[in-house]
Structure 1
């Protein structure tokens, strides 16, 4: 499943379905957690799934820290969770569009087809929190993948 914004939240929520093995969530629009009585977004159903979150650090529509906290909780239930930050990018993730496309393709091909992940993705999945959940998306990512 893949989604952006509210669609990313929907993809994360629907990941509990038995047919889902991989989730790609771009700038997920998550509810503010300023209400201490509010239930946090669920993450247990992400166990056994490959999960990639990408968020722009300058997103003004949804706080990037919320996706970090969700990823942090999800990583406790599932080691196959990673999160990349597109520095100075906003909610639409336009500034690093080609890098995000390359990252998304690499993650999807690795997760669904069993192809080897790029070293950056391998490192993000293997790194303990917070390192693998605050991975900077390097400008030009994907150029080396294309040769």
Structure 2
């Protein structure tokens, strides 16, 4: 692994931990969680970002040699901050920077908590094809029109006390009505930090990402939803 570097200089929203392949035909961007409010800059080694490192490393290992760019989104502020929706703005900015760096390739966004909300908001970007949202923050009136034509997988632990799993299932149902293709998975015993059954969270996420990239088969519980058109509010169990 190389040192973390901004892809486009100071103030970049796109961070890569390793040199990108000369030829890239797909990309994955990972978005960590944050807070409801907070205008201060996140610390470089904050816990939310650190929690996503095993996911990033797992995706890097699974796609090594496969011409897949794997990067992370750097936020300018710790919080979502209401109508400012800072994390979503940074997510879109990171995808724009990615396009300038490697060209217009299909992108999978992987986000946890606030990062899941940011990924779902940023999914309207023309380069984004799929989103894996882990314990996402899905407020009641969160927009879904931007998700038309996108494949979504929302994974939520049933012991989450920070974001509501039921909100994820309701969001998925509304996204389906808007023309998205969502699938929902409940992680039995899973909590918000994804520390309970941590290995299962990691393995499922990597499998989802490689499946959405077309490198490996999707997990059966998700593949059945996508192929059968049965996506809805009732989650599959993991």
Task: Provide TM-score, normalisation by structure 2.
Answer: 0.50
Gaps of 5+ in 2: 1-108
Larger radius of gyration: 2
CA contact (8 A) 1:86 1:93 kept: no
Deviations 1:10-48 (A, max 9, x none): 0000000001111111001233x4xxxxxx111121112
In 2, the alpha carbon distance for the partners of 1:78 and 1:99 equals 30
In 2, the alpha carbon distance for the partners of 1:58 and 1:113 equals 31
The number of residue pairs the alignment matches comes to 129
Question: What residue number does 1:92 align with?
Answer: 193
Stretches of 4+ moved more than 3 A in 1? none
Question: What residue number does 2:70 align with?
Answer: none
- Is 2:110 the counterpart of 1:8? no
Q: Pick from 160, 168, 172: which aligns with 1:67?
A: 168
In 2, the alpha carbon distance for the partners of 1:64 and 1:87 equals 11
C-alpha RMSD over aligned residues: 1.9
In 1, the alpha carbon distance for the partners of 2:199 and 2:184 equals 17
Task: Report the more deviating stretch, 17-26 or 105-114.
Answer: 105-114
Q: How does 1:75-90 map to 2 (within 5 A)?
A: 75-78=176-179, 80-90=181-191
